[in-house]
Structure 1
């Protein structure tokens, strides 16, 4: 198993944040399928203010490149990503089009 952690900001608007949370209470089944079929075994997203933190556990076969290729071919994933971008905003220093930014682990007990 491999663990990755990411962060992303939401647009700082209470109504938009509430809507974003609602979508994540009933994630579309096609999105869940795309996540698990890529080799992601567990995923959690936490919210503090408008900052999101995602923990993603994967199996040994998981590949970011393969996941990205599959997502580009999946119309429901593209629809979901377009919809979610209405609520999300890039972090300072993000590259063009970059959403979730991978975090570096700096401590482990």
Structure 2
């Protein structure tokens, strides 16, 4: 089995571990934080050590490419977060209104 056979390359910014909805970025984030494969497995019990080690090996063999991939993902997530702050969903608007009301009620107590 080739290393790439462990992954699904859905598009240039979406690489997942085959058979899972877990992206390689999730495993690599923990790896870059200093977690061992066994510790990563504790966070993702549906994986196995073989898939975790394959992900780490893929990262080590394609570091520049994967680092660029990770940066694009982080930039995209930050853009979405900032957009959600500027234009919150109706649910978020309702939750914020409830929070304000509760805070106002506690001040009046």
Give the TM-score of the pair, scaled to structure 1.
0.29
Larger strand proportion, structure 1 or 2? 1
Under a length normalisation based on structure 2, what TM-score does the superposition of the two structures give?
Answer: 0.29
More helix by share: 2
Structure exhibiting the larger radius of gyration computed from Cα positions: 2
Higher RCO (C-alpha under 8 Å, 6+ residues apart): 1
